[in-house]
Amino acid sequence: MSFLEKIKRNSLLRKLIAFLANLRFGFPSRGLIIIGVTGTTGKTTTCFMIKSILERNGIKTGLISTAGFYIGDEVIYPKAHTPATTPDPFFLCFLLKKMKAKGLKVIVMEVSSFGLMYERVYGLNFSSAVLTNISYNHHLAIHGNMEQYVYSKLKLFQQLKKTAIAVLPKESEYFDLFANKTKARIINFGQDESSDLCLKIEEITKEKNKVIIYRNNDSFSVNLPLPGVFNVFNALAAIGAVEQFSFTSEKIKKGLEEVKKIPGRLEYIKEGQSFSVIIDKANTPAAFYGIIDFIKILKTRKKIVVYGNFGESPVEEREKLAAIATDFFDLTIITEDDPQELSPQPSIDDFLNFVKKKNISKDKYLAISNRKEAIRKAIKLANKDDLIIVLGRGNEKIMDYGVKTIPFDDREATREVLKEEGY
């Protein structure tokens, strides 16, 4: 670890910075109800679900997430860069003060492992904390190992008071660790019937999930307008997060059924083409498997995936992604994704070395370093009823080359290419 990194991770220094930020903005979190959501995947979607439930029941709610900062009807999305999942303390306190001034009573925020490691939320009093899940991911390169990554997540639950609620996935291998390390009241969720919140899937389609949710000796049916089985479990986590408000099941049902599409999460791009194009944020092995489970219910012919082999990830994870992609998809197009350097070629070469080592047929993959051209190639190769899915970036708006950044949004790039190709 470099000297600079040691300074960045200095807990006392970081806590002092957070305290000064709170002091500068008048301790803006006081009087607010703050709900924190952490986990490897599902944070953004779960936050949007919580927000939808609260607002459907007349509670003004702010949202701090990678999808933007929602302050009433205003959405702040920095043009210069993609929002940090958990902003630095000074900007975070600025947002909280602005939200409070707008009359917002409840704030829902994504709390990343980096945000916890760097003490960005130090001094905030969370009334509820949610753990969506924990799995192997590219953030381990910065944390050092899985143990340190888990420990960072754990810090959110260790700081909860006895009056707070900890919402935990019962089937997680880390459930006991988190349950034993928090003072908060625990609400667990999962598919196991003994869970506080559990479910039964009735129908899955490409547009929605119909499920029965079991809660507090009660059950109710929900038509969740978000596809993907993983979103059903995000819904359970969201229900647990709002338990402090004592909503009836009917009020929760209405909030979930009115949740809006999440930017860059299983987002269809439609420009009149005869094949499907989907953009999604998935960039971990667990997220890839979740996407594949969703695709299996679709009636598609050829399946094409475009994703970036970003160099910040451990090579073990990148090889796992390559194995998953080339095993399931008919064609994998590897490309750039925040290469953090002028050339994305080294990480693309890692992918090519892997497929060569595994003797994967050459007709199963292509390497195109320019991301827009990779998307174009997928579109040129697609026919009626085929599927293209572009993974890894979701609603991100900036490509990071380390020494420079350029505007790049998968959704906008895909629409541009479709129009340029005559759709």
Helix (H, G, I), strand (E, B) or coil at 382: coil
Average pLDDT over residues 394-406: 86
Which residues does residue 213 pair with via DSSP β-bridges, in sequence order? 199, 220
CATH topology of domain 3-257: UDP-N-acetylmuramoyl-L-alanine:D-glutamate ligase (3.40.1190)
pLDDT (tens digit per residue) in 97-112: 999 999 999 999 999 9
Order of strands, sheet of 267-268, starting from the edge strand that comes earlier in the sequence: 267-268, 276-280, 387-391, 303-308, 331-335, 365-367
The one-character DSSP state at 341 is S
Average pLDDT over residues 274-279: 97
Domain ranges of the chain: 3-257, 267-420
343 vs 239, residue with greater confidence: 239
E strand map for 181-302: 185-189, 197-204, 209-215, 218-224, 267-268, 276-280
Place 73 in a pLDDT band, splitting at 50, 70 and 90. confident
pLDDT (tens digit per residue) in 292-347: 999 999 989 999 999 997 666 778 888 999 999 999 999 999 999 988 776 788 88
Say which CATH superfamily domain 267-420 falls into.
Mur ligase, C-terminal domain (3.90.190.20)
- Phi, psi (5° rounding) for residue 359? 55, 40
Give the predicted TM-score (pTM) of the model.
0.90
Q: What is the spatial distance between Cα 51 and Cα 33, in angstroms, rounded to a whole number?
A: 12
Place 80 in a pLDDT band, splitting at 50, 70 and 90. very low
